[in-house]
Structure 1
Amino acid sequence: MNSSALTPGSPPEASRVPAAGRPHWQHIYFALAAFNLLTVCASLYLSYRLMAIYAESVRVNHQWSQRLGSYSDLGQLAAAVNAPGNEVFDSHDIAAESAKMESALARFNEKLRAVRTEMNSDVPAAETKRLLEQMDHVQGAMGEMVDEAELIFSLFKRTQSEKAGEHMAAMDRKFANLNTALVHLRAIVRGIQEADFAEQLSLAASIRQFERIIAVAIMLMVVGTALYGTKLSKSVAAMIQAEEKQRTVDALRVSEGRYRSIMDSANDAIVIANADGNIVAWNKAARQVFGYEEEEIMGQPLTRLMPERYRDRHRRGLA
């Protein structure tokens, strides 16, 4: 042992890695677990929203399809209202044809009222306004066509069939205007359907974008967990190695302290040399016996303390 060894009775210094330097791995993994739970909940919610959007899209599309069917029925009823004004030229039965027209007109008006009532139930205000305005055009076109038909019946009653024939063409033009108004009504509905569908597609695309973001976040979380786990394992291994090294050093210091205590308390002179025969340690008794100070003798050959006659033998023994 060298001269820098601890003095006898020196207490060992326990090694402790500072608490601030230790990675709080449990906090990290709690955060990762919370993030994982959050992403799962978000994924479930987004899936639920997508299904809700799909269900709402099906429901709304079904409603508008039913409305289109109702508007097609209006077209058929309008044709039934128009027919008696033409058929009277063949049947010449003014009363019967007039009654047919009145009956068909009543069915048309009843259907139109039902369509209006249904429109006011769950359709947004802006769309309702557009549709109702177009229905007013339909109602107006129907009124003009009925006026021409009634004029035809009136002319037939007065046996003015030639003039009635002139008004038949006018009635057919009014009927064409009515069909055009119904076509515009159906076009508005299709436009609303397309706008709703586009809006739902946009919303679904936004949700899918969030899903992609969540997928990337999960991937980053997995990669981050792997990297942090690797770093953590290295850190833990380094801490364990440092603690084991410090325990070894502490044990050596304790052993050195005991050894120095034993040497210094011994009454006999004790001199310790290394494998090269140089002095590396001695006790107080040796210092008193040989009369050297420690700084004078440390590192010197052991033969310096031997009588001259033993030196050569000692050197040959080391050789």
Structure 2
Amino acid sequence: MVMADNRRLGRGLAALLGDMAEPDTGSDRGGAKRVPIEFVRANPRNPRRSFAEADLADLAQSVREKGIVQPILVRPARGMPNVFEIIAGERRWRAAQRAGLHEVPVLVQDVTDKEALELAIIENVQRTDLNALEEAYGYEQLIAEFGYTQQDLGQVIGKSRSHVANTLRLLKLPERVKDYVREGRLTAGHARALVGAADPEGLAARIVEEGMTVRDAEALAQAPKAVEPAKAEKARREKDADTKALEKSLSDLLGLAVAIEHKDGGAGEVRIRYRTLEQLDEVCRRLRD
């Protein structure tokens, strides 16, 4: 059954990868063997798509000094004798190329496409090597190609179903917002706050520009929902030129966004938006002067 197979793979990852904490010394250990580096190929289905140059440079330096500590997990390449396709460990392979290694240690596993993709996702997720979008695309592959449910995925990778669901929701974001995530300018928490927002691109740009926390981003994304669209539109229509001029005057004076809302009976409220406690202190100081 699929579910039993999923559980087996989830529990068996450590055994497949091996617990090899010692530097590579050239001898075969734990089923690992050395193969010429040119006989190892990248996996086009690898969920991991981005490899930071600085990280690769640091790892390449470590490889020069200590070798590859943990063998690369591979499987035989179809129709290519003595050639292997990477399941997990592409970053180590790329670093080994930069370091000028002629051979790399590998662990060979004869697995199906589905099992290879499962292992690649599990290995990367457990090491937090994937960014949130890469993780989401990996989940989407398993669902589209192998009929997984979100509950199945949660059991395979050791995450909750809600984690899987929230990660998949990131794929609904506009490409510009996804770019922020890929570039590391937005975290998964920031991005999740923008799913379903009225203007995710505009909000994302503001979050990045102002360096907002995830909590700030959530408050920003939810703010438009606090007022019903019809009421908000009515308030905008009723704001006359004098009120707008007064808002601008106060904003110029304080250096902060100011909103004036009139209510029935001549009452109303003035809202001043600040981003730091220092800005609030400055407002208080000006009011006391």
Do these two structures clear the TM 0.5 threshold for a shared fold by scoring above it?
A: no
Q: What's the TM-score once normalised by structure 2's chain length?
A: 0.18
Structure showing the higher strand proportion among its residues: 2
Q: What's the TM-score once normalised by structure 1's chain length?
A: 0.16
